A and B are shown apart, each in its own frame.
Chain A
Amino acid sequence: MTRLHAPGFPEELIRARARTGQAAAFPSEKEYGHAVFGAVPTTGDDLLDRMRLAPPIFMPQRLEKLIELGREPTYADVELTTLIGGIPARLPVYVSALGSTEAAGSGLGLSVIRQAARLGVPLVIGENVASTSGYRDTETAAGLHLRIKTYLAELRGEHGGIVVQQNTEDADSEVWNLVYSDPVVADLLASGRLAFELKTGQGAKPGLGGMTVLDAADATRLAGRYVLDTTFGRGALLRSGSPGTFTEEILGQQIRLMRNNYPRARVWVKLPPVRDVRAAALVAWSAGADSVTVDGGEAGTGWAPLAFLQHAGLPLAECLRRLGPPPSCVLVSGRMWEGARAVKCLALGATAVGLGRAALLAVDEGPENGLVNLVECLALEMRMLVSALGKYAPARLGPEDVWLPEAGS
């Protein structure tokens, strides 16, 4: 089996967490008593990495908690359960869109799905899955129906749910109609734990649609539905989806039609890291979206041109700055794997963070428990950081909890 790689991502640190879980939140316990530790100066141009969390000394909310508990609160008292776009989750984390890209369609994808269900976190099923692999006819790992069934088979308790994306090509395949009337989702619909996510673009390649590399046989099957390009010479073809054309009116009306057509499903909207992200989010919320997901320019699991990976799309921190204090649910993804980045995003207005590449790496390391371990480590870090800020629920975090060097104070 080929080991999965994620160039530019802290792969070894993620694999360590997938193996050892919460222990990986600390330096090796073997070094305890034999070494001293301090911050490693942050380099690089990632704005979120350069920010620091800034706890205060005076903590009125900790006093509230102390009074409530009758004892000093600890990080274990931080309540992480939350509603993510209307779906109850055990912590402010969801597993973000793993679509038709080959890494997600293999056995790895199903491992991610099983573990996400066991964790009680929502799962977003990406675009182009049913359009390229079919809905019910296939029993390969890539089929949409199989992905849903796999998640539901492991789901216990009241936390977790499924989110199904649809893009322009998926609309031709009527993905949402297929899911909405499938008896397999009846319980999810009845408990408000099924959402549909309108995809308007993605982090890794804003302005482009989903791209995958196909062999000639698959290309023949999909000809006419997607743009196919012989970029790679003989053999492999580049398959491109369409990003879709949007104006304020088109976006607002598409959301209203979703609410009209699927009244029992939650409505999510996924935005790429665009300069008018605030205007788009306001249109989405006012049309009735339960949640807006913003994929930072640093996000994405799929295949994207290098020029886009390096140069196109706003970084997530800038998207959050432009959004300002959001009036409704904002979900973010982009290089998420550990607690500090996640807590910074929550402080800057996000309701939850999405794991993409990190989830795939974690299950590549641990097909049974890799993602569970990674998320438990992340949850521990979240608890410790949120409590250090004198707060006991992520929703209480605010921009005062984050310091950016350029901002001075």
Chain B
Amino acid sequence: MIADEPRFPGPLRRHLLSPVTRIALRVQQEILGAVRGFLAARGFVELQAPIIGPVTDPGVRGAKQVDIDYYGARYKLMSSAILYKQAALLTFDRIFCVAPNIRLEPPETASTGRHLVEFHQIDIEMAEASREEAMAVLQGLVVHTVDAVVRNLAGELEALGRDTGAFAELLDQPFDRISHAEAVARLEAAGHPQRGAAELAWSGERALSGKATRPFFVTDYPKGSRGFYDRESRTSAGVLRNFDLIAPEGYGELSSGSERESEYARLVTRMRETGENPAKYVWYLELAREGIRPSAGFGLGLERLTRYITGLDEIWQVTPFPKLAGVVSP
């Protein structure tokens, strides 16, 4: 067991020299290898995600985008590869990327233990796939990855004080799933105020996560809590065909995914419902007008998965050059 680290990263030299950092990054390398192997074996093609573009995922929960001057045009650093993932399915049936994302999150996220301003997502998109197929891939991917790390880096996990017994259920049993409405009911019954029309509050999600002993899915988030591209149910108005994967032991959300809207008129209408100006999505909407493929996919946070597997308290411990909201850092 390595001695406790502070809540916030100290000087960069100390962080880079820390044995915790070194082991966490070794685990992350193992994770990436396992992910690539798993996905390649199932026909996924790895693409390099764009870093800049005229528009990016609008995001929710108050995270800001970063503008850059692109030869006089206003461009964005990518906060998510979602729009490009959908477009890329014109080339391949199944794609993935390890995509860098920048989100200037509200300062209060600096202390959640699981928010970084600069992070990576293992981003997957599958043409003509249902939500259930995407969830099956995600479950298989997480189980395969945890199994690889436990098998190959047992000594490293032990050095970090991570009890691999925590993964026994994950490796052995399917992940549970509950609907967002059920999650709200459970939270309210436990005395956590939670609005039915909103994203689960971080404190409530942490409480649900803390009670779980293996990862579980939350499905069917309400419209008004997610972006325009999550597909609305055609049979239950206002309910999205989406999901989050929540890690147990209080580690919280690892991944968000969904079936996607792909019809032009629905995309434009949903953009308005999320307060977006369709004019700025011109390249994406032009593709959609001519036809993009129905799909499902997800983004799995690389640093969050690494934190969960290593059992570290703070997400900055699993990245070499951490950037926390509101903290000016290298």
Binds B, one of A94-102, A103-111, A258-266: A258-266
Q: B225: CB under 8 A from chain A?
A: yes
Q: Are A181 and B62 in contact (CB under 8 A)?
A: yes
Q: A250: CB under 8 A from chain B?
A: yes
Give the B-binding residues of A (Cβ under 8 A). Answer: 166, 168-169, 171-172, 174, 176-178, 180-181, 183, 186, 198, 242, 244-246, 249-250, 252-263, 287-288
CB contacts (< 8 Å) of B325 on chain A: these are 181
Q: How far is the CA of A174 from the CA of B59 in the complex (A)?
A: 11
Binds A, one of B36-44, B175-183, B268-276, B301-309: B268-276
What's the least CB distance linking B272 to chain A, in Å? 5
Interface 1/0 per residue, B51-64 and A, CB below 8 Å: 00000000011111
Partner of A254, one of B198, B269, B274, B326: B274
Among residues of B, the one whose C-beta sits closest to the C-beta of A198 is: B275
- Excluding A176-B62, A180-B106, 5 further A-B contacts by CB distance (< 8 Å) are A181-B64, A246-B272, A250-B272, A254-B275, A263-B201
How big is the B interface, by class? Answer: 20 to 34
Known contacts A177-B64, A181-B62, A250-B269; A259 and B195 CB within 8 A of each other: yes
Q: How far is the CA of A186 from the CA of B107 in the complex (A)?
A: 10
Q: Are B104 and A181 in contact (CB under 8 A)?
A: yes
Partner of B224, one of A181, A183, A256: A256
Q: Are B273 and A177 in contact (CB under 8 A)?
A: no
Interface 1/0 per residue, B216-230 and A, CB below 8 Å: 000000111100000
What's the least CB distance linking A166 to chain B, in Å? 8
Question: Which 3 pairs show the lowest CB-CB distances between chains A and B?
Answer: A256-B224, A253-B273, A177-B64
What's the least CB distance linking A283 to chain B, in Å? 12
Q: Are A242 and B277 in contact (CB under 8 A)?
A: yes
Q: Are A174 and B64 in contact (CB under 8 A)?
A: yes
Q: Are A174 and B225 in contact (CB under 8 A)?
A: no
Q: Are B274 and A253 in contact (CB under 8 A)?
A: yes
Q: Are A261 and B61 in contact (CB under 8 A)?
A: yes
Q: How far is the CA of A321 from the CA of B63 in the complex (A)?
A: 40
Q: How far is the CA of A166 from the CA of B276 in the complex (A)?
A: 11
CB contacts (< 8 Å) of A254 on chain B: these are 272-275
Within 8 A of A (CB), among B246-288: 269, 272-277, 280
Partner of B106, one of A181, A246, A250, A259: A181
Among residues of A, the one whose C-beta sits closest to the C-beta of B61 is: A261
What's the least CB distance linking A75 to chain B, in Å? 42
Q: Are B223 and A256 in contact (CB under 8 A)?
A: yes
Known contacts A171-B275, A250-B272, A257-B225; A288 and B62 CB within 8 A of each other: no
Q: B65: CB under 8 A from chain A?
A: yes
CB contacts (< 8 Å) of A256 on chain B: these are 197-198, 222-225
CB contacts (< 8 Å) of A261 on chain B: these are 60-62
Q: B244: CB under 8 A from chain A?
A: no
